[in-house]
Structure 1
Amino acid sequence: MQAITTYFNFLGNTEEAMNFYKSVFGGEFTSFTRFKDAPGSENMPPHERDKIMNIILTTKSGAILMATDFLESMEQKVMLGNNIHLVIHADSEEEVDTLFKALSAGGKIEMPVNKTFWGAYFGMCEDRFGIKWMLSYTYPAGN
């Protein structure tokens, strides 16, 4: 396992929140994707296309904070317990599969593990204790 990072879920104010964290912790945004940049975004409500799909703040110390906007059109609601995920950055697809199977046992699969359009092998689950996890292996460039 390479690292575990935090992933915040906000309801429409991700950009504001992440700019605040940047002002507190310093660093740079190393990834910034709006929903309008994703395939199929033309089918989204126009007011949601500029929402943040994924943003990564890498602080001066190397800590990573990630976030997204939940979307009302997807009936997503931010509440205590779903406003944060722990992200495991794995070393291989096999590690993702092993950890995903173990963490989701007795819990709930939110997004089955699969290859994604952003170049990762990725899945989301909630363990039996209510902790939400994202597991990801990022493919090397060119794959």
Structure 2
Amino acid sequence: MQVNPYLFYDGNCEAALKFYAKVLGARIDAMLTYESGPAEMPIPPEWKKKVMHARITVDGEVLMASDAPPGNFHQPQGFAVSLQVEDPADAERRFKALAEGGTINMAFGKTFFSKGFGMCVDQFGTPWMVNCPMEE
């Protein structure tokens, strides 16, 4: 069994995934638009080019995403996508990139449980935690 986060966006999924490709080195494996669905699928014409399903890979880990159907988007809450990054400098770089244009909830820095940890919400509304774990 595999568990993968599925992220929903409010019409800006494609921009978000291209951003993650740029700042995290993610690979966009698939991006299907609503127009590729069956003709009888009830989607407004202005939504046809929006993302119905996408899959990206970040350092071998899979995230899936789409633009929520019109009227079904809710601001993400109660979770965060967590990145575990071995190198403190790389962890901080990734954190700063994700936080750019978004909101920092906890600035990246050394903690009692890690060499570096930070929490942010990116410019697309997705919550992130970046952690550089202590050596075991």
What is the TM-score with the length of structure 2 in the denominator? 0.52
Letter in 2 for 1:78: H
Residue of structure 1 equivalent to 2:75: 79
User: Do the aligned residues in 2 keep the contact of 1:29 with 1:58 (CA within 8 Å)?
Assistant: yes
In the alignment, the residues of structure 1 paired with residue 4 and residue 40 of structure 2 have an alpha-carbon distance, to the nearest angstrom, of 27
Over the aligned positions, Cα root-mean-square deviation in angstroms equals 2.5
How far has the Cα of 1:5 moved from its partner? 1.3
Residue of structure 1 equivalent to 2:55: 56
Residue of structure 2 equivalent to 1:67: 65
Residue of structure 2 equivalent to 1:23: 22
How far has the Cα of 1:49 moved from its partner? 0.5
Unaligned runs of 5+ in 1: 85-143
Identical aligned pairs, as a percentage? Answer: 26
In the alignment, the residues of structure 2 paired with residue 77 and residue 52 of structure 1 have an alpha-carbon distance, to the nearest angstrom, of 13
Structure showing greater Rg: 2
For the structure 1 residues 82 and 52, does the alpha-carbon distance in structure 2 shift closer, same or farther, using more than 3 Å as the test? farther
User: Do the aligned residues in 2 keep the contact of 1:35 with 1:51 (CA within 8 Å)?
Assistant: yes
In the alignment, the residues of structure 1 paired with residue 72 and residue 79 of structure 2 have an alpha-carbon distance, to the nearest angstrom, of 11
Unaligned runs of 5+ in 2: 81-136
Which of structures 1 and 2 has the larger relative contact order (alpha carbons within 8 angstroms, sep 6+)?
1
